[in-house]
Structures are given as C-alpha cells and as structure tokens.
Amino acid sequence: MAISKIKVKTGIEIAYEDTGGTGVPIIFSHGLFMNHTMFAPQLEEFAKSWRCITWDERGHGDTRSSGHFNYWDSANDLLALMDALNIDRAIHVGMSQGGILGIRASMLAPERFVGIVQLATQVGKLAEEGAAVFKEITDDWMANGIDEGKQEFLKDLILGPGVDDTYWRQYWAQLSPDQLDDALSALFSIDEMYHRLHEVTVPVLTIHGTADVSTPHELAERMAAGVVDSRGVVLIENGPHGVNLSHPDQVNAALRKFFAELVEENPDIRN
C-alpha cells in the first residue's frame, strides 16, 4: 500500500494507509514515537476481510504538527480523518497513546464507534518519578541527539523483549527536535480520566501484557472496570508494551473474537 495524505478540518494534513473495502472499517492508532507501520501483524490478518486504516498521528511519521497539542486535539484529528474519508462509524484499535486519544474520541462522539480496543494503554496521569526520568532523557535527546543509551531506553520502554527494533532505531534517529517537542507536549499535559470513564458507553475490549514496564497492567484493569460496557481484559503473559508486535498471534486472537462479537450484535457493519 502507498501512503496517502489528506487535509482535515482540524487544520493538519494526515498521512494514512487505507486497504479499501466495504463495511465499517477498523482504524488503528499507534503509540508515542511510533507510526502507522506498527500494526503490520494486525493488517496481515484483518485486511483480508476488513477495510483497515492506519494513520500517522500529529507529530509522528509523515503527519506534521502545527505546534503543541493535547490528546483531545488528537481525538478530534481521528474524528476529522473519519469525516474526510466519509466514514460514519468505525471500530477503533488504539495502542498506548492511540488508546488515549481513542477513548477521548469515543467520549466526544460515541455514535461514531461500534467498539474500541484499548491496547497497552491507560487513562491516568504519568507517575511523577517516571515522568521526571523520561523528561530528562527526552530533553537531552532534543538538545544533543539520540545515542545508544537512549535507543536502548526506548527499546525497553516502548517495545520490549521479542520485538525487532531495527526499523524503530532508524525511525527514532530521524525524529526532529520540533517533532519530539510537539509529541511530548501532549504526553506531559495529559489529564486524568478515571472519573469520566462512565462517559465511555461503547463496547470496550482491553488487551495488555503482564510484563509491560511502560504501563502496568493494573492501570488497564482499573480502566476496564470504569467503563460502562467492558468486554473484558485479555492479559498476555510476559507481554511487553509493544505486545501486538511481540505476541501478534495472541493479540490477533483477542481482536478476532471481539470483532466477531460486534458483528453478531450489529450484522449491518459488514455491509
């Protein structure tokens, strides 16, 4: 698939890939310092029978930001992309940052989502100690560039064991200070959402690895307990933060079951 770009009503030009097809699509939203390609193992399976859309969120990949933003802005970007592609409803799969924006989009426009998947994500603020360490490292990255130590740190935090990091090391090395600054502005301004989870009324599946050092699985379980229509928590033993890359078969099996459940309840989404 060739990457496409489209200007959306939030004012940015979004880079995306669309497999095409009919029916309600699955839209995949990636994590911090990642891009749309991180869902290759999921597209390999689901693009055979679903319309699948992956996109680069603002400040990532080939989608540039116009300055600092927050995850509500990113949620509106998702809705604007759906509008631009004439998509009334979608199933959303959001990994980490992608889940943060996805749950906000489902609150802003619940009628636009048949269901959402919260993958390796949560809805709380960053822990102060961890955020301070992360800021120190990323500040140095912006000022002095990336080095082997920072590459290893990102690999352990964002990907984890069992994930080939060759491509991602090259990708991280190409991120500009402005891209880093814009992307981090959203992360460090994140607002607490646990008290608003009752506003999430769409079906929610939660998938998380038990060895996620970036986001402990207990936070995902707390999130799942707070939404109106939780479809369960799938814990993947020894799964790291990049669990869809390290354990694609298990993640895909959980997605397949959830999608089949949604189709059974809403047969029209396949038309």
57-99 pLDDT, tens digit per residue, is 999 999 999 899 999 999 999 999 999 999 999 999 999 999 9
pLDDT at 1 over 80: no
Distance CA 193, CA 124 (A): 6
* CA 162/CA 238 separation, integer angstroms: 10
Statement: residue 147 has pLDDT above 80: yes
CB neighbourhood size of 161 (10 A):
12
Max intra-chain CA distance, the chain: 54
> Which domains can be identified in the chain, with CATH numbers?
4-270 (3.40.50.1820)
Radius of gyration of the chain (CA): 17
For the stretch 198-247, pLDDT in tens is 999 999 999 999 999 999 999 999 999 999 999 999 999 999 999 999 99
Sheet holding 13-18, edge to edge: 4-7, 13-18, 52-55, 26-29, 90-95, 113-119, 203-209, 229-236
Under 8 Å between Cβ of 82 and 112: yes
Structure tokens at 9: 């009503």
Closest CA to 91 of 271, 264, 254, 263: 263
